[in-house]
Amino acid sequence: MPTIYAQRRARLAAQLGEGGIALVPTAPERLRNRDSGHLYRHDSYFYYLSGFAEPNAWLVLTGDGRSVLFCQPKDAEREIWDGIRLGPEAAPTALGVDEAHPVDELDQRLPALLENKTTVWYPFATHAGLEGRLDGWLQKVRARVRYGALAPGAQRDLCGPLDEMRLVKDAHELDIMRRAARISAGAHVRAMQCCARMIRAGEDVREYHLDAELLHEFRQHGSQAPAYGSIVAAGANACVLHYRADAAPIRDGELVLIDAGCELDGYASDITRTFPANGKFSGPQRALYELVLASQQAAIDATKPGARFTDPHEATVKVLTQGLLDLGLLDRQRHGTLDDAIADRAYFAYYMHRTGHWLGMDVHDCGSYVEPSEVGQVSERRDPLSDELIRDRPSRILRPGMVLTIEPGLYVRPSEGVPKEFWNIGIRIEDDAVVTEGGCELISRGVPVAVDEIEALMR
């Protein structure tokens, strides 16, 4: 396992240039309230390069490939309270770094490591206080200029090269992400079946009952935590995109939207399913659901090497807008042709988010959505709804190994001119897609999406 992280460090070191040095801190521990802490979660950049999940640690990497870890020292008393520490003595063998030191020696040792380097790289604007500490270390180097010491004359953002590396997943990462998706799919299945069973039994069903089923399945299969706050939204609550209350009753005849995924070994999954609480879609529910599903299939077909990141979204919008016109949610007399309705963004009243995002160590993973070689190509347009000036750049070209979500939706709130049978229906269908040589692989289809399959599962 250390070999994977050593290979990543070597790839990054080659981009630092002669005289380059990179500083990568992990995340701080955070308090939930008073003296009670949140479950610790490492910094993703740090873990990507080290595989080390303990708090209070730094990785230093130089352009010639040297790696130095600063970590918590062994401490018998603290380990009684907080758990076993790896310690700097064991770190080189366990993690494959060249050397390791106690983290309380960081301020003492960093100036010497920075001395005679030309460029210092670190992740800009991600760690509170990092810039201030770096200033202090550089001042100590500059205090030695009369003795021949040189301080780095340039500072560069490390996020750029690391984001590009993390954007294309290696085989090790994809294996973890497939396992995370399987666990999450199983959790969705469990919640769906639980909901139908409780409704049929006449029990009081609350959103938090299904949230509990999700968490049970995550932990039962080795996930360390949810990848993000799970959304369990019944009825009209499904029209709130980031619904958090998680306490409303789930009523017979309503749809339930669950957006939930686990984190496994540092990698996120992200799945959304919408299903009838009683296991049977009504006519209007089915009509809107099958429209969203058709739009997702169009987006899936558009997800392939050489396509643009925006292509799946454009495919989704075309199908959704045509369906909204056909179902009478958009007025043909007012909006005209399909192309006119898309140009006017008429669909935005019902579909106001993009169709996907990068997925990886973070649920909204890093990586530019603009093609780097075309960043200078800018076009301007006016938003037809807000009249805001929009500057567009060519979006990222998809390559094998990239992982993104595909998540179209429709959210119908009560409104004049909207058929009442569609009021308070919120639907989103989300899958995790790995771009492959021939298209994309959906790694989250362990939970069904077709209407007939959902109804069969919930019988």
SS3 label, residue 235: helix
Query: Which residue of the set 30, 78, 197, 364 is catalytic?
Result: 364
Dihedral of alpha carbons 340, 343, 345, 351, sign: positive
Q: Is 357 a catalytic residue?
A: yes
Residues in the chain: 459
Query: Which residue of the set 43, 115, 217, 259 is catalytic?
Result: 259
Query: Which residue of the set 156, 396, 411, 432 is catalytic?
Result: 411
Q: Is 364 a catalytic residue?
A: yes
Burial class (CB in 10 A: 0-12, 13-18, 19+), 237: buried
Q: Could you tell me the two tokens for 171? A: 């085989």
Measured between alpha carbons, how far is 393 from 369 in angstroms, rounded to an integer?
9
Q: Is 172 a catalytic residue?
A: no
Query: Which residue of the set 263, 430, 431, 455 is catalytic?
Result: 430
Measured between alpha carbons, how far is 402 from 358 in angstroms, rounded to an integer?
8
CB contact at 8 A, 406 and 434: no
Query: Which residue of the set 32, 34, 35, 459 is catalytic?
Result: 35
SS3 label, residue 156: strand
Q: Is 35 a catalytic residue?
A: yes
Query: Which residue of the set 32, 34, 146, 242 is catalytic?
Result: 242
End-to-end CA distance of the chain: 44
Query: Which residue of the set 407, 431, 432, 455 is catalytic?
Result: 407
Q: Is 259 a catalytic residue?
A: yes
Residue at token pair 């080290």:
50
SS3 label, residue 25: strand
- What 8-state DSSP symbol labels residue 348? G
Q: Is 42 a catalytic residue?
A: no
DSSP calls for 179-215 = HHHHHHHHHHHHHHHHHHHHHHTT---BHHHHHHHHH
Report the Cα 234 to chain-centroid distance in Å: 24
CB contact at 8 A, 442 and 405: no
Other CB atoms within a 10 A radius of the CB of residue 297 amount to 17
Query: Which residue of the set 270, 311, 362, 365 is catalytic?
Result: 270
- What 8-state DSSP symbol labels residue 10? H
Task: Report in angstroms the alpha-carbon separations of 226 from 31, 48, 176.
Answer: 18, 19, 15
Q: Is 313 a catalytic residue?
A: no
Measured between alpha carbons, how far is 86 from 54 in angstroms, rounded to an integer?
8
For 207-289, where are the E strands, in sequence order?
A: 225-226, 231-234, 255-260, 262-264, 267-268, 271-276
Report the Cα 233 to chain-centroid distance in Å: 20
- What 8-state DSSP symbol labels residue 308? B
- Please give the positions annotated as active site: 35, 242, 259, 270, 353, 357, 364, 407, 411, 428, 430
